[in-house]
Structure 1
Amino acid sequence: MQHDDTQTYGQFLDFLARTDALCQAEGPTDRATPERVAAWRRENKARGLAPTTRRQMLRNLSAMLRLLAPGRSWIFIARPGNRPLKRAIPGRPKPFVVRDVAEVMIHVRRLHRDGLAAPEGPGKRQALRDAALLALLLTRAPRTGASCR
């Protein structure tokens, strides 16, 4: 059992308590009904949690419940609506920006300059190494749209 599994189960119990759905007469595994898990999923989405976080929370909850009641089926958690988690909770594309090489080189030169000025030790070597690798990647790596010869 991992810490994340128990932490997620605790978050699920907290949700049940806050929504007056936590019945003390129920056993730990009887509390995880499809309706309650679906309501928890909706709340986590409304809280703005990232899709990958929400999927992992469902995996953690399912793992904890499988430990508590190995003979029961928890498929409604791992496959909401009988769909894989990636389809049930699709991700959102991460925005990225392609920066001009000259703009990034300003930062690489600063990193190099700071590395040269740093006292001897691991920090100096790391800064110089990072500056050299970044400069190499910026000036020699193939760029999108570059023609291959």
Structure 2
Amino acid sequence: MTTIAIKRVDDAYAFEGTDANGHTIRTDGAVEIGGHNSGFRPMQTLLMGLGGCSGVDIVSILKKQRQEIEDFSMKIDAEREHGKEPALWKHIHIQFIFKGNIEVEKARKACALSIDKYCSVAATLRAAGCTIEWDVTVQ
């Protein structure tokens, strides 16, 4: 079982979540709805979770294949449903960007394995009807 403690931290919409190890993340609402813009939007944290989840998988796979990762980043663009409540993520595109002595085909395979098989966040988003596309750049 996982437990996260959530506490309201201001007079508006800011909340701080803390895990059992003391790690924290702050969420907040946009100024337009009365928030203070002092943290991630809750739906953005799902995208961050997707990047973190797939990143762990990908690094693990590439390390096992003895690929030398000097740098690894992602750019995630996403679109939510319009005119619906709740407004779910409907399309996500991830740009995986690698630097190092990495074979492009191994990087592609690692990304495919993560997004299509191992990443629980990706599976959760797909189960909600989201399409996830991605591509790879090795510099």
Structure (1 or 2) with the larger CA radius of gyration? 1
For normalisation by structure 2, the TM-score amounts to 0.26
Q: TM-score, normalised by structure 1?
A: 0.25
Higher fraction of helix: 1
Higher strand share: 2
